[in-house]
Amino acid sequence: MSYLVAVDENGLGPRLGPLIVTAVTARCSGDAAKVAFGRPGRSFGARLGDSKALVAYGDSALGEAWARAIAERTGHGRDATSPDALFAALSLDAPETLRAHCPSEHERQCWGPETERFVADDDTLGKVRRDLGRLEKKGVQIVRVEVSLVCSAAINRAVDKGMSRFQVDLHAMERLVLSARTHAGEDIVAACGKVGGYDRYGDVFGPLAGRLHAVLCEGRPRSEYQFPGIGRVAFVRDADESHLLVGMASLVGKWLRDLMMMRVVRYHREADESLPMASGYHDPVTTRFIAESALSRRKRGLPDTCFQRRALPTV
């Protein structure tokens, strides 16, 4: 038996809303690693893969179904009766830790779960549950899903320290890999989506910095490292398309990213119902949302650092 961990990000490039990094851990027997870290077969193709290809903004029921089905299967978050409760069960960080820097009068922008409910229908849930059962028959037992949320304010604080969003993403991945290793109780094999344009990761590691490691390969398609006491960690280009478990992580992260972005939209539409339903990405609707909410944000005293991301200055 071996433990495989798949990690992927959602929301690395947007102007608004959080960065979500998700890790899925599976216990595999025999040659099952070829299934877990292989392309989804035709029977899984409609429900597993790159979230950007399978679902659009606002259509995250499939990712929710995977999160709920895994919670039921593993018991980790099984009793969650709402999206907010499920997120709290799956989060790497405690909710109070995530809210520690929030201005109390605007906490609801990111932490207002009013009106939220599960939306995945019984048919979708049933199909995903059967998919998990079929994976188990192939020797792939999903044992954990965990998510790391990095809000806009946290990204901006990192920028103030000279860190890029790619470093923020990488360090969240590292924390999830270390958490997965702790829960597994033995060395793991991790596959992470490639971060930015990095080929060599040694100089930009955060939580893994300073740890003894061997370079197994470094290049554009794949960069892989062996860490004594942790296991193998690879960063793979287009992993969400080529690795079944990474695609699963991508879909769960897509659900959570949409959930959190909708909170931002809902909070500002309370002050101005004419504001559009923005995705937070670099698109005309988000540009309009930012411009047309500016006056009400000033009147309400919302700090810009809690709303829109900044980037490192270009040289």
Please write the tens of the pLDDT for every residue from 261-276.
999 999 999 999 999 9
Q: Which residues of the chain have pLDDT under 50?
A: none
Report the pLDDT value the prediction gives residue 114, as an integer from 0 to 100.
Answer: 87
In a domain, residue 302? The reply is: no
In a domain, residue 17? The reply is: yes
CA atoms within 13 A on the CB side of 26: 30
In a domain, residue 109? The reply is: yes
Report the pLDDT value the prediction gives residue 180, as an integer from 0 to 100.
Answer: 98
Q: Which residue has the tokens 């990111």?
A: 110
Report the pLDDT value the prediction gives residue 50, as an integer from 0 to 100.
Answer: 59
Q: Residue 88 sits in a domain of what CATH number? A: 3.30.420
In a domain, residue 13? The reply is: yes
Give the range of the structural domain holding residue 233, as residue numbers without chain letter.
2-262
Report the pLDDT value the prediction gives residue 98, as an integer from 0 to 100.
Answer: 96
Please give the Cα distance from 82 to 122 (Å, whole number). Answer: 16
In a domain, residue 92? The reply is: yes
In a domain, residue 61? The reply is: yes
Report the pLDDT value the prediction gives residue 51, as an integer from 0 to 100.
Answer: 57
Report the pLDDT value the prediction gives residue 44, as an integer from 0 to 100.
Answer: 73
Provide the token pair at 277: 């339903």
Q: Which residue has the tokens 């179904």?
A: 65
Report the pLDDT value the prediction gives residue 240, as an integer from 0 to 100.
Answer: 86
Total number of domains constituting the chain: 1
In a domain, residue 81? The reply is: yes
Report the pLDDT value the prediction gives residue 143, as an integer from 0 to 100.
Answer: 97
In a domain, residue 270? The reply is: no
Q: Angle at Cα 189 formed by Cα 186 and Cα 194, nearest 5°?
A: 140
